[in-house]
Structure 1
Amino acid sequence: MSSIEFAQVTKSFNKKAVIQDLDLNIEDGKFTVLVGPSGCGKTTLLRMIAGIESQTSGSVLIGGKDVTRVAPGKRGVAMVFQNYAIYPTMSVRDNIEFGLKNNKIPKSERTQLVESVSATVGLYEFLDRKPSTLSGGQRQRVALARAMVKKPSVFLMDEPLSNLDAKLRAQMRLELIELHKKLGTTFVYVTHDQVEAMSMADTVVLMNQGKIQQVAPPEIMYHTPNNLFSAQFIGMPPMNVTDLHVDDVKFGFRPESAVLSSEPREFHYSVKGVIVTREMLGSETLYQVRSNGHTFMVKSAENVFSVDQEVYLGVDASKIYFFAADEQRIGGDQARYKEYLDVLRSEETCIKKAHGKLLVHT
């Protein structure tokens, strides 16, 4: 068992609580990603699991055991840092087996472990090289291999790919996913990059200002955000959000949920606007549309519209989200959701009448 539990954990720095009364369960064997803006507390949680930081109050449990007073080296965890923390004067082999030597592991066992792990991460042919002769991705693999030979029950990773270029980062994401499948061990991964979180995680833990905003698989996080923060942090570009002008409610829709057309079409929410920017993204095009003082982002598979062109933007009712004054999402099964859908349609009808552009809704 290598599940991790935070029970009523508070962490204070200089008497200021950065995390307060936090509860979190990280499942055994899952790839869990802690994501959120800088300073939200995600790295502090990771360091508390590792034992590098201690909580001010509450308990941290690994495999059901309270590890509050257990030394970092006795917790059965291995940490991979952002800067790799590998020794430049040692060969790849020496870097990987450094911890094994310190733990007095017999030479024959060390050799078998190092060669087995280096083959798993694609480093076998580089064992006698120095880190300075390796690429960034290869140095990252050295750090991973050094963690793997410890046979930890938990892998902790603190933004391990942030120093790599975009192409290599994408490649390493795939390699880490495959590595997790091979090992079947609990991975806890910290990043501020929501693309990494969504592409790698079994479970995403979204944080902001020391509080957990949502814990869910990526697809649930994306399609059913708990609140306005989740809705706008997850997704690229972020969800379009604007005021409904009723009850301090806001409504929103994903950029890919909007449809552009040169002629009016029937949608629950429909406005006329002008394209102000256009970005070609390969198979998709990102348009910025300005309408009635609002600016909306639209991600479309169609590359047929141009800057300064007048267009109609439409969104189906099923793609529209509402957020209450407390920023919590209003569920589609709640009575208020239908009321606000009716308000949105009525508001848009009034705007179209005022502009002589009435689209008939049925």
Structure 2
Amino acid sequence: MAAIELVQVTQSFDKHVVIPNLNLTIEDGKFTVLVGPSGCGKTTLLRMIAGLDAQSSGKILIGGKDVTHVAPGQRGVAMVFQNYAIYPTMSVRDNIEFGLKNNKVPKAERTRLVESISETVGLRPYLDRKPSTLSGGQRQRVALARAMVKKPSVFLMDEPLSNLDAKLRVQMRIELIELHKKLGSTFVYVTHDQVEAMSMADTIVLMNHGQIQQEAAPETMYRQPSNLFAAQFIGVPPMNVGDVGADGAKFGFRPESGVLSAERTDAHYAVRGTIATREMLGSETIYQVKSGPHAFMIKSAEDRFSVDQDVWLGVQADHLYFFGADEKRIDPGDARFGAYMTALKRASS
């Protein structure tokens, strides 16, 4: 068992509270992604799990064992950093077995482990080469292999793909997903990139100002955001948001839910607007439509409209979201939902 539990954990630096009071359970064997804007506390949280930084208060348990005061090397975790931290003067083989030598693992066992794991991550042909002769993706695999030989119950990864180019990041995301399936270990992965979070995670933990905004599967977080922050952080482009005009409430809809047309449709929310910008991205086009005080981003599979063209924007009722003055999403079963739906229909008629 390698579930991770954080119980009433706080963290402060120089009287500045980074994490005020956090409770979180990371399930055994899951690929959990901590995501959020810079400075939200996700890397701080990862370093506390690793034991690199001690929390100000609270407990951390790994596999049911309290590791609050246990040294990093005794926690059964391995951490992969953003900068790889591999030794340039050592061969790939020496880099991978460095920790094994320090732990006095016999040479025959070291050789078996290094060759087995290098095969798993596709490094077998490169064992005698220096890191400087490898690509960015191959160097990242060296860092992963060095972590894997420790046979940890938990892998902790701090933005490990951020130094790679866009194409290689996509390839490495796929490789990490496949690696997780092979190993079945608990993966905890930190990123500020919500596309990485959506594509890789079993569970996303969305953070802001040291607090968990939502913890859910990617599809749940996208379709049922718990609050306005989650709605606008997850999704590219982010959810469109406007004022209902009552009680400080707001409405929202995803860019792909808006339909542009030359004539008005019978959509529940229908407004006249003007195309302000157009980005043709191949299979889809992103339009910015300005309508009164609002500027809406619309994602369309059709490239039919041009800048400065007047259009109608329509959104069907089942694609609309509502958020109260406290910024929490209003459930369709809430009486306010129907009232705001009526108010929005009236405002756009």
1:297-308 maps to which residues of 2 (within 5 A)? 297-308=297-308
- Write the distance in 2 (CA, Å) between the matches of 1:270 and 1:296: 12
- Write the distance in 2 (CA, Å) between the matches of 1:241 and 1:329: 12
Are 2:131 and 1:134 aligned? no
Secondary structure at the counterpart of residue 84 of structure 2: coil
- Write the distance in 1 (CA, Å) between the matches of 2:17 and 2:252: 33
The aligned residue for residue 193 of structure 1 is 193
For 1:203, give the aligned amino acid: T
- After superposition, the C-alpha distances for 1:47-84 in whole angstroms (9 at most, x for unaligned) are 01100011111100001111011110000000000000
The aligned residue for residue 312 of structure 2 is 312
Q: Displacement of 1:293 after TM fit?
A: 2.7
The aligned residue for residue 219 of structure 1 is 219
Q: With structure 2 as the length reference, what TM-score do the two structures score?
A: 0.99
The aligned residue for residue 160 of structure 1 is 160
Q: Which moved more, 1:218-227 or 1:11-20?
A: 11-20
The aligned residue for residue 205 of structure 2 is 205
Gaps of 5+ in 2: none
Gaps of 5+ in 1: 350-362
The aligned residue for residue 277 of structure 2 is 277
1:340-355 maps to which residues of 2 (within 5 A)? 340-349=340-349
- After superposition, the C-alpha distances for 1:147-189 in whole angstroms (9 at most, x for unaligned) are 0000000000000000000000000000000000000000000
- After superposition, the C-alpha distances for 1:206-230 in whole angstroms (9 at most, x for unaligned) are 0000000000000000000000000
- Write the distance in 1 (CA, Å) between the matches of 2:39 and 2:16: 13
Are 2:172 and 1:172 aligned? yes
Q: With structure 1 as the length reference, what TM-score do the two structures score?
A: 0.96
Q: Displacement of 1:292 after TM fit?
A: 1.6
- Write the distance in 2 (CA, Å) between the matches of 1:168 and 1:317: 40
- Write the distance in 2 (CA, Å) between the matches of 1:335 and 1:209: 31
- Write the distance in 2 (CA, Å) between the matches of 1:21 and 1:207: 13
Secondary structure at the counterpart of residue 109 of structure 1: helix
- Write the distance in 1 (CA, Å) between the matches of 2:314 and 2:347: 14
The aligned residue for residue 11 of structure 2 is 11
Secondary structure at the counterpart of residue 215 of structure 1: strand
- Write the distance in 1 (CA, Å) between the matches of 2:303 and 2:15: 55
- Write the distance in 2 (CA, Å) between the matches of 1:315 and 1:345: 11
- Report runs of 4+ in structure 1 exceeding 6 Å deviation: none
For 1:2, give the aligned amino acid: A
- Write the distance in 2 (CA, Å) between the matches of 1:310 and 1:18: 47
Secondary structure at the counterpart of residue 111 of structure 1: helix
Q: Displacement of 1:263 after TM fit?
A: 1.2
Q: Which moved more, 1:7-16 or 1:205-214?
A: 7-16
Secondary structure at the counterpart of residue 178 of structure 1: helix
1:235-250 maps to which residues of 2 (within 5 A)? 235-250=235-250
The aligned residue for residue 352 of structure 1 is none
For 1:111, give the aligned amino acid: T
The aligned residue for residue 358 of structure 1 is none
- Write the distance in 2 (CA, Å) between the matches of 1:188 and 1:293: 41
Identity of aligned pairs, percent? 74
For 1:307, give the aligned amino acid: V
Q: Displacement of 1:282 after TM fit?
A: 1.4
Q: Displacement of 1:335 after TM fit?
A: 1.2
Q: Which moved more, 1:331-340 or 1:127-136?
A: 331-340
Q: Which moved more, 1:180-189 or 1:272-281?
A: 272-281
CA RMSD of aligned residues (A): 0.6
The aligned residue for residue 360 of structure 1 is none
Aligned residues: 349
- Write the distance in 2 (CA, Å) between the matches of 1:219 and 1:131: 38
